[in-house]
Chain A
């Protein structure tokens, strides 16, 4: 110990309030550091603001105004009655084309996504047994959009059949009368599920980015060695790193939820308190993971790499944010269980859209709690008062 340079430090007063005072000192140092390099503040507040604005407006899986080529070889009242369905649909922007070759060229150049082809014998075969074939060609490169388009075309076709039957005074009796009810998101607005998922991704980024570099930075700059010669315990060092960034992270969460509800109109059907309790657990796990990365790598470059690799892409692809976890192969499903974001996405989507469903919230919250305990516990063990 060198009491000369650290006069008010706890070396003389380990009896009362020593730990408190040391922790306070560490916290003050960390806050100064945050204020001096504004990138931490930017991570907590600018990052969510920018990302939510871009994605809340930009990311959508709802295909509307799909350009589709209509090739009518021999126009007649019958073909006009069929194609009018496309002109009225909000899903399509029809482009009339004289022949199939032109339309195929447009499909190749991605000027249209699909071709609907009515052959010259359409009107004639309409009244014959077997009916007239309508050829639909779709660009299958984006398989998901292609499937949606097929569904829309089917819808137009069915409406047309009904109109034709009505015009002839028949009722078109489809054997099954299907009534579809979509719970929690009846208009199937993709923003309603993307925004809660985005909050999970943003919180993952905040958690990892805030803490991934802080320990490594102390090692790399040699200030960790300076800390080691003071009487602070490792528990205090860890707490001193955790508390400021936890506060910043919760601030970022509040900003994201506020934007989600007031700007993007995502319904919040569950309780705000449940949401923030879950966010606190998740943030502890995410910060803990960042601290662990930082403690283990001791080098900002490696820590930064690990933070990017283990957080953003897995949270984007494996968390259930866009891709359905239940449809992944078994092994990959197992992998999603070690990802804190997958539990948080489940809680967020449920609390936002369905409400306080405890059978979803409790198991996922428990998993988050375990992960937070694991990461913080392992960081604590890995962080030794020792030089190599």
Chain B
């Protein structure tokens, strides 16, 4: 039996990799994508173009503007002298932020009264706008504290001391890159497996395979193992790059990470084969792969937290293997979460995988149409 599975595996690998173009599209893009996305996918803003509309000539106003220009998050690109200049520049996306300091600003401050400052933010991307307002508030709070100290005003009753665990500088890259490990592993294994049965169906060779003495379980293993091995190999490469190239701290144990990877691969290979055995043509296989991939990624907590989703969608995400793997990846990479705390993440993936593999085996012989 082992010999037969081995023969099937060799055939699968040959079918996948004998063509040079197939070899290239299986191995090169994930690495390139990690490099590009690792740099691209960040919520941290830098060099935000902003404009100053300063009607005040006092020193306090100059100080406030200087604090914005000196920040690495902001880049001053224009100085407005008329109110009419604001709308066209914001509309055309040339500036994302306008800092408008009123005429009486410095004088009011010196009189001990609040000085009016207005900020206008482009809200077309509301997340960018929210982060940007956070930066603005930080700069304004620092200005306020310094001004109160200099003028000897009453100090605040209580002060906040912030500390962020696991990611002290709140770099969003530390959050995203472990996610990309899961993302690319998911895409690669689904692709390799989702078309494998559909291709044979379309070419008619699957019927030939079914009349050989192979049992469905053996055909399944022969189909599943290549996807599993390729996924395992590529995931290892991506994990290596994440730690060495992007310098993401790997605080937990590799054993925990690889147990997670193992369960995850079972689930994605199972999903891929299930889709493939349902499909009659490769186009259907591809459509199925997309209908599985896109929701798995968007509902995994990769970019938008699961906690923000409405309760019924949160229930749906329990069916998504990627959800569990992301918890494991981020836990092991950043928090150093020990094995026993992740048990609840391991078994659902293995279960999803086994159910799908069994379904796929059944569908090999009992096609729906």
Residues of chain A at the chain B interface (Cβ within 8 Å) = 37, 39-40, 42-43, 47, 50-51, 54-55, 57-66, 82, 107-110, 113, 122, 126, 129-148, 150-151, 153-154, 157, 161, 164, 170, 173-186, 188-190, 192-193, 201, 205, 209, 212-213, 217, 297, 299-302, 304-309, 312-313, 316-318, 320, 322-324, 326-329, 331-332, 335-336, 346, 349-350, 353-354, 357, 359-360
For residue B160, CB closer than 8 A to chain A, the reply is yes
Whether the Cβ atoms of A143 and B44 lie closer than 8 Å is yes
Whether the Cβ atoms of A136 and B161 lie closer than 8 Å is yes
Whether the Cβ atoms of A305 and B191 lie closer than 8 Å is yes
> Hey, which chain B residues are within 8 Å of A188, CB to CB?
123, 126, 129-130
Whether the Cβ atoms of A134 and B158 lie closer than 8 Å is yes
Whether the Cβ atoms of B298 and A55 lie closer than 8 Å is yes
26 CB < 8 A contacts A-B? A39-B287, A113-B307, A140-B164, A145-B307, A151-B134, A176-B64, A178-B137, A183-B121, A185-B129, A188-B130, A209-B286, A209-B290, A213-B283, A217-B282, A299-B19, A301-B195, A305-B25, A305-B191, A308-B286, A309-B29, A316-B298, A318-B36, A320-B125, A324-B45, A326-B96, A350-B124
Whether the Cβ atoms of B160 and A157 lie closer than 8 Å is yes
Whether the Cβ atoms of B290 and A131 lie closer than 8 Å is no
Whether the Cβ atoms of A174 and B144 lie closer than 8 Å is yes
Residues of chain B at the chain A interface (Cβ within 8 Å) = 19, 21-22, 25-26, 29, 33, 36-37, 39-49, 64, 88, 90-93, 96, 109, 112-131, 133-134, 136-137, 140-141, 143-144, 147-148, 153-168, 170-172, 174-175, 183, 187, 191, 195, 199, 202, 281-287, 289-291, 293-295, 297-299, 303-305, 307-310, 313, 316, 327, 330, 334-335, 337, 341
> Hey, which chain B residues are within 8 Å of A323, CB to CB?
40-43, 303
Q: Which chain B residue has the least Cβ–Cβ distance from A181?
A: B120
Chain A nearest Cβ from B175, distance in angstroms = 5
Known: A138-B164, A175-B144, A188-B126. A306 touches B25 (CB 8 A): yes
Chain B nearest Cβ from A32, distance in angstroms = 15
Whether the Cβ atoms of A312 and B294 lie closer than 8 Å is yes
Q: How far is the CA of A305 from the CA of B28 in the complex (A)?
A: 12
Q: How far is the CA of A178 from the CA of B142 in the complex (A)?
A: 13
Q: How far is the CA of A170 from the CA of B12 in the complex (A)?
A: 79
Known: A57-B310, A139-B166. A299 touches B21 (CB 8 A): yes
> Hey, which chain A residues are within 8 Å of B93, CB to CB?
346, 350, 360
The residue that B170 contacts in the complex, of A134, A140, A189, A313, with Cβ under 8 A, is: A140
Q: How far is the CA of A297 from the CA of B286 in the complex (A)?
A: 15
Whether the Cβ atoms of A146 and B304 lie closer than 8 Å is no
Whether the Cβ atoms of B91 and A360 lie closer than 8 Å is yes
Known: A147-B131, A323-B40. A297 touches B21 (CB 8 A): yes
Q: Which chain A residue has the least Cβ–Cβ distance from B288?
A: A39
A-B interface contact total, Cβ < 8 Å? 349
Q: Which chain A residue has the least Cβ–Cβ distance from B301?
A: A142
The residue that B293 contacts in the complex, of A183, A308, A346, with Cβ under 8 A, is: A308
Known: A63-B308, A144-B131, A175-B144. A137 touches B21 (CB 8 A): no
> Hey, which chain B residues are within 8 Å of A148, CB to CB?
130, 134
> Hey, which chain A residues are within 8 Å of B334, CB to CB?
141
> Hey, which chain B residues are within 8 Å of A349, CB to CB?
124-125
The residue that A37 contacts in the complex, of B117, B120, B283, with Cβ under 8 A, is: B283
> Hey, which chain A residues are within 8 Å of B165, CB to CB?
107, 137-140
Whether the Cβ atoms of B305 and A109 lie closer than 8 Å is no
Of B183, B199, B287, the most chain A CB neighbours within 10 A belong to B287
Q: How far is the CA of A201 from the CA of B36 in the complex (A)?
A: 19
Nearest 7 A/B pairs, CB to CB = A140-B167, A140-B164, A185-B123, A177-B114, A359-B92, A182-B123, A58-B313
Whether the Cβ atoms of A213 and B286 lie closer than 8 Å is yes
Q: How far is the CA of A201 from the CA of B293 in the complex (A)?
A: 13
Q: How far is the CA of A63 from the CA of B114 in the complex (A)?
A: 31
> Hey, which chain A residues are within 8 Å of B308, CB to CB?
60-64
Chain B nearest Cβ from A201, distance in angstroms = 8
The residue that B294 contacts in the complex, of A138, A192, A205, A213, with Cβ under 8 A, is: A205
Whether the Cβ atoms of B46 and A131 lie closer than 8 Å is no
Whether the Cβ atoms of A142 and B175 lie closer than 8 Å is yes
> Hey, which chain A residues are within 8 Å of B19, CB to CB?
299, 301-302
Known: A143-B172, A359-B91. A61 touches B304 (CB 8 A): yes
> Hey, which chain B residues are within 8 Å of A316, CB to CB?
297-298
Chain B nearest Cβ from A293, distance in angstroms = 10
> Hey, which chain A residues are within 8 Å of B92, CB to CB?
357, 359-360
Q: Which chain B residue has the least Cβ–Cβ distance from A297?
A: B21
Q: How far is the CA of A306 from the CA of B195 in the complex (A)?
A: 13
Q: How far is the CA of A357 from the CA of B37 in the complex (A)?
A: 30
Whether the Cβ atoms of A190 and B161 lie closer than 8 Å is no
Whether the Cβ atoms of A178 and B117 lie closer than 8 Å is yes
Q: How far is the CA of A140 from the CA of B90 in the complex (A)?
A: 33
Chain A nearest Cβ from B108, distance in angstroms = 9
